[in-house]
C-alpha cells in the first residue's frame, strides 16, 4: 500500500474560483499516481467530480495547514497551473497537477484515482522539525473533534505543547497558539 502524503489541494469551484483544502492522498513511490479519499459531502469532492483535475501542494507552512484544516484559510497567492485548469500556491515546496482517471462512489469515502500530469519544485522543504509535525497532527486532530472525546484531544494538545516548547520556532508557536485558541473556543470543525 502506498504511503499517505499530507498536503493541500486546490480545485476550481463551479464559478471558476479556486478552493483550498487539506488532503492526505496515497502517493505512489514514483509520484505518478494519487489515490484521494474525500468525503462525499466535501466541497473538494464536488469540484473534483465535476472538473476531474486539481493540484496537490506539499508545504511546510504550518499556519496555512492549520487554517485550511479548520476551513479558515484565505487563499494565498497563486499562479496558473500549466497542464490543467487549476491554481498553484506560489509558496509551496512542491506541487503535482493531476487528472482524475477513476471515481468509485460506492463506499463511505469516495475513492478517486488520479494521474500526475505535471510536477515541479518551487523551493526546498524546510526539513524535519518535531514542532512542524506536531502542528500537522494537531490540525488533523482538530478536524476530528466531532468524533473524539474532548478530554482526549486536550491530552494530545498537552503532549504537543511539550514538543512545541522544546523545538518550535515563531511559525510553529503561532500555529499552535491559533489551534489552542480554536480548541478552547470550540471553533470550526
Give residue limits of the domains in the chain: 7-121, 130-185
Q: What is the DSSP string of the chain?
A: -PPB--EEEEEE-TTS-EEEEEE--EE-TTS-EEEE---TT-HHHHHHHHH-EEEEEE---HHHHHHHHTT-PPP--EEE-SSSS-EEETT-SEEEEEEEEEEE-SSSS-EEEEEEEEEEE-S------HHHHHHHHHHHHHTTTTTS-HHHHHHHHHHHHHHHHHH--HHHHHHHHHHHHHHHHT---
In whole angstroms, give the CA distance from residue 115 to residue 25.
12
Write out the chain's pLDDT in tens, 189 residues: 899 999 999 999 999 999 999 999 999 999 999 999 999 999 999 999 999 999 999 999 999 999 999 999 999 999 999 999 999 999 999 999 999 999 999 998 999 999 999 999 999 998 778 999 999 999 999 999 989 999 999 999 999 999 999 999 999 999 999 999 999 987 555
Q: Which superfamily, per CATH, for 7-121? A: Electron Transport, Fmn-binding Protein; Chain A (2.30.110.10)
| Helix H or strand E segment including 155 | helix 150-167
Which CATH class for the 130-185 domain? mainly alpha
Amino acid at each position: 500500500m502506498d504511503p499517505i502524503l499530507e498536503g493541500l489541494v486546490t480545485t476550481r469551484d463551479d464559478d471558476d474560483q479556486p478552493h483550498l483544502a487539506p488532503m492526505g492522498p496515497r502517493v505512489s513511490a514514483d509520484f505518478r499516481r494519487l489515490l484521494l479519499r474525500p468525503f462525499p459531502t466535501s466541497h473538494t469532492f464536488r469540484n473534483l467530480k465535476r472538473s476531474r483535475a486539481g493540484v496537490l501542494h506539499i508545504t511546510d507552512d504550518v499556519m496555512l495547514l492549520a487554517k485550511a484544516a479548520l476551513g479558515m484559510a484565505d487563499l494565498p497567492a497563486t499562479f496558473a497551473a500549466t497542464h490543467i485548469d487549476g491554481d498553484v500556491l506560489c509558496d509551496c515546496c512542491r506541487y503535482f497537477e493531476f487528472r482524475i482517471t477513476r471515481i468509485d462512489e460506492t463506499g463511505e469515502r469516495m475513492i478517486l484515482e488520479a494521474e500526475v500530469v505535471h510536477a515541479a519544485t518551487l523551493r526546498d522543504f524546510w526539513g524535519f522539525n518535531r514542532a512542524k509535525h506536531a502542528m500537522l497532527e494537531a490540525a488533523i486532530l482538530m478536524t476530528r473533534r466531532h468524533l473524539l472525546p474532548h478530554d482526549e484531544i486536550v491530552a494530545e494538545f498537552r503532549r504537543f505543547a511539550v514538543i512545541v516548547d522544546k523545538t518550535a520556532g515563531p511559525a510553529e508557536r503561532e500555529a499552535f497558539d491559533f489551534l489552542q485558541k480554536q480548541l478552547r473556543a470550540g471553533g470550526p470543525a
